[in-house]
Amino acid sequence: MPPTTIFDIPTPSLILDRAKLVRNIQRMADAARSKNVALRPHLKTAKSIDVARLAMEGQAGGVAVSTLKEAEYFASHGIMDIQYAVCILPDQLERVASIQQQGADLTLITDSVAVTRAICERGKELGANFLVQAELDCGEGRSGVFPDSKELIEIARLAHEASHARFAGVMTHAGHSYQCRSIAEIEKVAEVERSTAVRAAERIRDHGIPCATVSIGSTPTALHARSLDGVTEVRPGVYMFGDMFQAQINSCGVDDLAVSVITEVCSHHASLDRLLINAGALALSKDRSTENMPNDVGFGLVTDARGQLLKHKMKVARVYQEHGQVPLVEGVSYEELPVGTRLRVYPNHVCMTAAMYNHYHLVDSDKGDGCEVIATWPRVNGW
């Protein structure tokens, strides 16, 4: 049988370019190595054991996840060092204990003294030993305690002294680095992220409590931090794939984007100079992260099926549940894009785009024309 290509698979489908993925992974690995920190890949976007194996190659062996479903999935595939990077809820602890029974060390994070106390008590009831990290707020304002707070020391003390818990360190995430518009701005945020985590760890140690792990996150800061002195690990995630937003904040280039959606023209609306594709909000997401950027691509950059830019820039300007609206631009005619024409869309926010798909169609742009589907890689979804 002839090989399957991107012209044979159903649309919309999620495409992953292995060649670009490998290069992106290597770039981050080199950045972490140059700063003498461990790399803990955050798999909240990839959600795939096949991607995880590539990202973990040559690394310390730990990963971060954003759902317990991901933790269960990766533990079932033999990954035993997992950080659940969302504040844990007490009613999730029985499920955590079950994952640990598979042999996994599942590190929990919290910014709550009350939850830390519940972790310690529930660990004793379940006969489980829970690893606890304190989450810090380094400026994003989403979650976390401040490094100079009394709550930080109390969280560390409770977990350290408990019979069925262990204090495992501190972590923070500079998600507000996404608001930066230059490398210089990212460097400043990265230094605040670093100093916040290091200062918190030093305070904890000054109270006689070990603080082995000093963990920070964010693809922009992991790549562009001038120094990570005092940090033990970084936890970036979107670096593996990249997206149009990351390309505009200097985390990657458009040519580095490893994930796209293959779609087809399904309708023409000649009176309004628009066409429709069969990839809408569910296939692309409704994220408009490039809206205020110099290169606004609407809900995604439109290219030809091979991923090559069209002769004039086109974008998905509006999404409905199952449709995307693409305005025609001057110099492009309907005759050039008849119904059934296959196109690719490079997303604004790849984490959201990938979330609706159960697998990747793997291609390799370093081999042939990059259109042959060389494998199908499953991904896990849900919570």
Which pLDDT score, from 0 to 100, does residue 334 have? 87
Round to whole Å and give the CA distance between 60 and 239. 18
Topology (CATH) of 254-378: Lyase, Ornithine Decarboxylase; Chain A, domain 1 (2.40.37)
Is the Cα dihedral 115, 120, 125, 130 positive or negative?
positive
> What's the pTM?
0.95
303: helix, strand or coil: strand
56: helix, strand or coil: helix
Which pLDDT score, from 0 to 100, does residue 1 have? 59
Spell out the CATH class of 42-236: alpha beta
Which amino acid is located at 198 in the chain?
V
Contact 354, 379 (CB under 8 A): yes
User: In the chain, which residues fall in CATH 2.40.37.20?
Assistant: 254-378
Helix axes 18-34, 49-56, angle to 10 degrees: 40
The tens-digit pLDDT sequence of the chain (383 residues) is 567 999 999 999 999 999 999 999 999 999 999 999 999 999 999 999 999 999 999 998 999 999 999 999 999 999 999 999 999 999 999 999 999 999 999 999 999 999 999 999 999 999 999 999 999 999 999 999 999 999 999 999 999 999 999 999 999 999 898 888 899 999 999 999 999 999 999 999 999 999 999 999 899 999 999 999 999 999 999 999 999 999 999 999 999 999 999 999 999 988 888 999 999 999 999 999 898 888 899 999 999 999 998 888 899 999 999 999 999 988 888 889 999 999 999 999 999 999 999 999 999 999 988 999 999 999 999 99
Round to whole Å and give the CA distance between 230 and 217. 14
Which of these, 321, 322, 313, 308, lies nearest to 266 by C-alpha position?
Answer: 322
Instruction: List C-alpha distances in Å: 289 to 143, 174, 249.
Output: 21, 17, 11
Which pLDDT score, from 0 to 100, does residue 318 have? 96
Which of these, 316, 358, 320, 383, lies nearest to 13 by C-alpha position?
Answer: 358
Which pLDDT score, from 0 to 100, does residue 2 have? 65
Which of these, 59, 98, 103, 101, lies nearest to 80 by C-alpha position?
Answer: 103
Round to whole Å and give the CA distance between 325 and 266. 10
